[in-house]
Amino acid sequence: MTNAAAVRPGRGRRPAADVRDAVLDAAGAMLLETGMRGFTFEKVAARAGVSKMTLYKWWPSPGALAFDAYFAATADELAFDDTHDIERDLIAQMQAFVAFLTSRDTAVIAELIGVAQTDSDLAAAFTDRYTLPRRALAVERLRKAQNAGQIRPDADLESIVDQLWGACYHRLMLPGRPLTPDLAETVVRNLLNGVGPS
């Protein structure tokens, strides 16, 4: 990747990494404000102060940019702690996740997932650029805990992801009960300790 895309006449060069960050910031903010409606290369380019050509060089579609930006927007907020105590770290992670979901207009996030169900290009971008990388980060932290003897050696780590994050998405997308902060601790304790008789 050269930084030729970042040359702007009369204003000198911006390093490519800076340009990319500016685009992701602008795209992430737009996405979390308004969802995919009106999310276009044109609007993102204007907001980031770059040319549309720059975006076309780096991203094959608005969906690909949107979910790269979504992943970037969550990266700091949803970073995985590693205090060597998986219960504590998972509770912190789920609290951050519930806070992330509920501190925004939750309808926007539900809608992002919703529109991905009826648009296969968007679904592929969402899976490749958000779901799979987030899942990999979660499994990586769980594997460390498993190696440290804090999770049973025979436990299937992928299904743990579904039973923690999936529980929160379930309340968001099929809202039979409200998504509240206390759910974070409850789902972690349920799953680590089991809900069967002790």
Structure tokens at 181: 């902060």
Name the CA dihedral angle for 150, 153, 158, 161, rounded to a multiple of 10 degrees.
Answer: -20
83 in contact with a copy of itself (CB under 8 A):
no
Question: What mask of x and - would describe binding to a copy of itself in positions 130 to 169, judged by CB under 8 A?
Answer: -xx-xx-------------xxxx--xx-xxxxxxxxxxxx
Instruction: Give yes or no for a contact between 165 and 97, defined as CB atoms under 8 angstroms apart.
Output: yes
* Rounded Cα distance, 73 and 133, in Å: 13
177 in contact with a copy of itself (CB under 8 A):
yes
192 in contact with a copy of itself (CB under 8 A):
yes
Window 94 to 113, contacts with a copy of itself (CB under 8 A): 107, 110-111, 113
* Rounded Cα distance, 66 and 44, in Å: 10
Total residues binding a copy of itself (CB under 8 A): 54
Closer to a copy of itself by CB, 2 or 198: give it: 198
Instruction: Give yes or no for a contact between 106 and 97, defined as CB atoms under 8 angstroms apart.
Output: no
186 in contact with a copy of itself (CB under 8 A):
yes
Most distant pair of Cα atoms in the chain: their distance: 71
* Rounded Cα distance, 155 and 9, in Å: 57
Kindly state the smallest distance separating residue 160's Cβ from a copy of itself, in Å: 6
Site residues for a copy of itself per CB under 8 A: 87, 107, 110-111, 113-118, 123, 126-127, 131-132, 134-135, 149-152, 155-156, 158-171, 173-177, 183, 186-187, 190-198
